[in-house]
Structure 1
Amino acid sequence: MELGITTGLGKQRSKTETLSGGAVLARMLAAEGVDTVFGIIDGTYFGLYSSFEANGIRLVTPRHETSAVHMAGAYARATGKLGVCIASNGPGVANALPGVAVEQGEGNRVLLITSSRRTGITHPDRGGTYQQFDHVAVTRPMCKWAESARAHDRIAELAREAFRKSWAGRPGVVHLDVPEDLMNGKGPAPAFHEPGAYRRATPLAVDDDLVTRAADLLVEGSHPLVHAGSGVLHAGASAELERVAEILRAPVTTSWAARGAIREDSELAVPMVHVELNNTVRNEADVVLLIGTRVGETDWWGK
């Protein structure tokens, strides 16, 4: 007799239900609200893309894997969702690397799912394996998190960790690599959960006392300045930025990546192309409100 088990998504599954690793990922992507995936397909992740339609996910195919990563980054920025792209083992992953570097630098929330050669010949690699290199070893220094599943029953666990890392802290790229035999081969279906069961699903609450202290400093300053980074664009907070600047009557400078965070025809905007004026305004400020910025090299590291 088969026993029915209620999953975290409110669906019944049988104890004997089996799914390919790709089908597991597709169902979890759908639960995360992903409706579009970008990438160039091949047989190594047939189990993944063959499960897209049943989970309401469409596949958009570019001409190059770098483009797929950038499309996922643009999707993430435009929708506020997780951007997802795929790349196949070896050359496909190599082609994706420039996109990974850029999207990580831009702070776009992207999940890269890659396939790799079957576990029996790559862990450890016998040498001379066709279209094979250690994908994770290459991407790990370039992104927020990277890991490879080595067993079918680890796929759901590592996918949850990828989602958790993706939504924590500054947005960037996370990478999950799944060998082709696990991607396409079937195993026992895992328990599926709503995203809120394994990651934060609501924004962090602000500390009212700290907000009050910051407001007092700005109001008491003689020459307050607001400096905005690309986090303002990610949050869709341009209107709020401009309102704060108007209340303070404070000039607004931006990082290079945040151009457009405030209307450049605003009387309070100091467009970043006017380098000397930016330097003057920043040097004269006695209190600065930094919003959504790391204050990097192009901001003179805050000097």
Structure 2
Amino acid sequence: MPVKVYERILRLFEAEGINTIFGIPDPNFVHMFHLAEERGWNVVAPHHEESAGFMAEAVSRMTGKAAVCIGTLGPGVANLAGAMMCAKVENSPVIFLGGQRARITEQRVRRGRIQFVKQSGLFEPSVKYTASIEYADQTDEVIREGLRKALTGTPGPVYIEYPAHVIQEELDVPDPEPLPPERYRLVGQTAGPDRIAEAVAAIAAARQPILLAGHGVHTARAGEQVRALADAMACPVIQTSGGTSYIPGLEDRTFPYGFSPSAVDAVVKSDLCLAIGTELGEPVHYGRGRHWLENEAGRTWILVEQDPEAIGVNRPVDVPLVGDLRAIVPQLVAALADSPRTPSPELDGWIRQDAARLAELAGTAPSGMSPVHPARLIVEATKAFPPDGIMVRDGGATTIFGWTYSQAKPHDVMWNQNFGHLGTGLPYAIGASVAEGRRRPVMLITGDSSFQFQIAELETAARLGLPLVCVVGVDYAWGLEVGVYKRTFGQGSRETGVHWSKDTRLDKVAEGFGCHGEYVERDEDIAPAIKRAYSSGKPGVVHVAVDPKANSEEMPSYAEFRTWYAEGMQ
């Protein structure tokens, strides 16, 4: 039966469980948007295509599936470029669709063409796959290959283009129902029983095993399975900087690598590390430097990794388990069922030590200042974080304070850890809320610099009625860069290009976009302002004036953070 190309594209995505699309409507694809809404999709039009890409990435992280965004030819697709790069570095399977003029235009030997540039070659280095639907009957194979590339091995983005005349062509399909994923790509790859047996034997022999949990545990939505594995191993969970979502039931024995003395002690004393959902990159010193140096010779490494080409690249691995962690973890849990472990006698001590650390930080964060000390901002805001909420981070100095002083243990945390792209916070928050059906409260903690990148999306949040509160630490400067000037040239040096008007009022900007606004200058007013914002029934912005000197000079754990850049940043 004949169907339009745009309808077939939607049906192919529906077979993968995708039901959300982001983009700014354009004549090239308004028919697709219209039909998607008719079919019950979430169709979200932000104010910038880069935001659309970030929102789609957030949906992917919250669903464990590929996500879709779209840009019109020329400038619209150009605006997707930053989001493509982020998705590549963050290992997010986002399908970027791009319109293009008819191929006759591309092949002309002429100049001065409107809204035209050859797009695919520009984006090829930033994605795993580029392709074009040149003919209607290519639709299935191109879209499926895009999904296959995005979701196989290390996940990542793809770019699929269609010339303007193709999207509304008709094609004949013998079966209107597309193939399910398992019919055309590898799904749920397990590890071989010999490797599972080898891993189980190593775990059984270990005295001080640890589970190193990374970003992939959250984006695969594998928390429940990983909790069962941690229980079977009776061990602490060490978070990478990208894997900061807490798994329900494991909150007390989950410690952030490098920022918790309990994590450092557990790493140093470990004789086995099972790493899962992590590339073992710079923030964990490749699993072979800094805290890992002690007892390196006596430590066994098990790595669960979807991409076989990643095995042994950053460090030697004793037992590689290649496949989908959502399939391999249940294998390990089942194999460990007959050999229960006794928790390390030091585990309770690490739990008490970490709890005491958090309590001490809450008690010692400087208080009574106006403007507010940024450490106190983090303490008060995270104490007010809703237990069932989604936490989103953005910013430089604000995020560094957050690593140390956060009092919350959210089950869903989102931030742009690997690429470090500022301005992702507000789009991530919107995308995460859309993915969760706009039900769970979302808190974005960010700095004023990063918040202003995509501030127009406050209108999108208001239009969608999202339960979102943005807590913004405002020092009227690029706080992290102010600190760089001071460390480079000394106190009192001229700080070029890092300050702006102190008349800026982000709470008033929020009100102009139809959101709830709060202005705060004192510690004790932070939590009440957050509560009022959630109660308002609108997205809220809490403008918290923070002390600029503390924000640039007193960043906690900064020396630890700098060890991530051990190479090429001297």
- Please report the TM-score for the alignment, with normalisation by the length of structure 1: 0.83
Unaligned runs of 5+ in 1: 1-12
Whole-Å separation in 1 of the counterparts to 2:231 and 2:187: 29
Whole-Å separation in 2 of the counterparts to 1:265 and 1:53: 39
Unaligned runs of 5+ in 2: 289-570
Cα deviation 1:177-200 (Å, max 9, x = unaligned): 11111123x243344532347523
Q: Does 1:188 align with 2:166?
A: no
Whole-Å separation in 1 of the counterparts to 2:34 and 2:209: 56
Whole-Å separation in 1 of the counterparts to 2:31 and 2:218: 36
Query: Deviation of residue 86 (structure 1)?
Result: 0.7
Aligned to 1:132: 116
Aligned partner (choices 193, 200, 216) of residue 208 of structure 1:
193
Is the Cα–Cα contact under 8 Å of residues 115 and 179 in structure 1 kept in the other structure?
yes
Aligned to 1:149: 133
Whole-Å separation in 2 of the counterparts to 1:125 and 1:220: 70
Pairs within 5 Å for 1:1-303: 13=1, 17=2, 19-123=3-107, 126-184=110-168, 186-192=169-175, 193-196=178-181, 198-200=183-185, 202-262=187-247, 266-272=251-257, 274=259, 278-303=263-288
Whole-Å separation in 2 of the counterparts to 1:126 and 1:21: 30
**How many residue pairs align between the two structures?**
286
Whole-Å separation in 2 of the counterparts to 1:229 and 1:110: 19
Cα deviation 1:136-178 (Å, max 9, x = unaligned): 2122211221212223332332112112222322322122111
Whole-Å separation in 2 of the counterparts to 1:122 and 1:253: 52
User: For the aligned residues, what is the CA RMSD?
Assistant: 2.6
The structure whose RCO (Cα within 8 Å, separation 6+) is larger is 1
Task: Read off the aligned partner of 1:46 and give its amino acid letter.
Answer: V
Query: Deviation of residue 273 (structure 1)?
Result: 5.3
> Structure 1 pair 267/56, CA: closer, same or farther in 2 (3 Å)?
closer
Aligned to 2:378: none
Whole-Å separation in 2 of the counterparts to 1:125 and 1:31: 41
> Structure 1 pair 236/152, CA: closer, same or farther in 2 (3 Å)?
closer
Query: Deviation of residue 269 (structure 1)?
Result: 2.3
Query: Deviation of residue 30 (structure 1)?
Result: 2.9
Cα deviation 1:102-146 (Å, max 9, x = unaligned): 223222222111101111111467443222222221222112212
Secondary structure, counterpart of 1:258 in structure 2: coil
Is the Cα–Cα contact under 8 Å of residues 38 and 62 in structure 1 kept in the other structure?
yes
Secondary structure, counterpart of 2:28 in structure 1: helix
Secondary structure, counterpart of 1:288 in structure 2: strand
Query: Deviation of residue 21 (structure 1)?
Result: 2.8
Secondary structure, counterpart of 1:44 in structure 2: coil
Secondary structure, counterpart of 1:37 in structure 2: strand
Whole-Å separation in 1 of the counterparts to 2:215 and 2:119: 29
Cα deviation 1:193-223 (Å, max 9, x = unaligned): 3234752374123333322211211221233
> Structure 1 pair 95/278, CA: closer, same or farther in 2 (3 Å)?
same
Whole-Å separation in 1 of the counterparts to 2:251 and 2:166: 55
